[in-house]
Chain A
């Protein structure tokens, strides 16, 4: 197998395990900033998110299929979205200025 393909497959495996499996065990305690805002008494200043009712808000919490499926669906959607947008944007940036001689 090509070395680049092997690396990509290994990376995708790690990413899927992290996003779909490890995320199931994510701590529900407040993160550092939220914790500090509570300790210092400015957590009341936080407003509800504008898109709290969105289908995938809070990483699948609004979905009816339960937390495990919800988290998995959120992870796969997010992974695909970030990867596709990155590829699309860099491809656009590259555009017609692409000079294949620069590819090592």
Chain B
């Protein structure tokens, strides 16, 4: 899922970088509204878990692997704004320490994995939860479905960036879009399963700590249910 340098032109990448930076500033402002003593260690654990899980590529098809994005997982645990911050930190560490994800593509990767997968995925999560009974199992199942969907959503974002600024002009955008959506829907199955088990374990042990749980103790920057 990490875009290398060269796939997307410099202009599009620069605009994405500005957007990602603006999103980061906004997310930090939002985080301040619900930042408590308990959120800081939770966010640090979420960041470390996302980093660790992204090191583990699981086989998906012969010759193709996938790994957790962790956006919905982080957003359900610590809220969408803190998740945007956490995902951005992970992506910066990966790009600068581990040469994973291009430096000019950093903004694009932040938009796709912090913006679309984590924040976008959180709003999908909330929409699904509103249709449900709101129990702890419903939290884990809603997170599972939203996590599954967040992977093709992020792939769709890449397809959009590729359509706008892709450097390979001889390639059919619709063919790339279709290939991205099918492969990333399969990868999303893994995302859903991992997210289900982690959220299920945490929400059953400590529902009061889970931002996306109806039993969360603390402030939210937006209502969980209408």
Contact of A82 with B98 at beta-carbon distance under 8 Å, contacts A42-B166, A93-B32, A94-B32 already known: no
Q: B-facing mask of A90-104, CB < 8 A → 1, else 0?
A: 110110010000111
- Distance A30 CA – B1 CA, assembled complex (angstroms): 10
B-chain residues with CB within 8 Å of residue A7 when the two chains form the complex: 202, 205-206, 209
- Distance A23 CA – B102 CA, assembled complex (angstroms): 22
For chain A, give the interface size range.
35 or more
CB of B5 to closest CB in A, whole Å: 4
- Chain B: residues with CB nearer than 8 A to chain A? 1-7, 28, 31-32, 35-41, 43-53, 55-61, 63-67, 82, 85-86, 89-90, 92-100, 102-103, 155, 158, 166-168, 170-172, 175-176, 179-180, 183-184, 187, 202, 205-206, 209, 217-219
Contact of A103 with B179 at beta-carbon distance under 8 Å, contacts A19-B52, A27-B58 already known: no
- Distance A59 CA – B151 CA, assembled complex (angstroms): 23
* 18 A–B contacts from the bound complex (CB under 8 Å): A27-B65, A29-B57, A30-B65, A31-B1, A31-B66, A35-B183, A36-B176, A46-B4, A46-B6, A57-B98, A74-B55, A78-B52, A82-B90, A86-B43, A86-B89, A87-B44, A93-B32, A104-B217
- Distance A34 CA – B94 CA, assembled complex (angstroms): 17
- Known pairs A31-B66, A90-B85, A93-B35 / 10 extra A-B pairs, C-beta < 8 Å: A15-B45, A29-B59, A31-B1, A32-B1, A32-B155, A40-B176, A49-B99, A83-B45, A94-B35, A102-B219
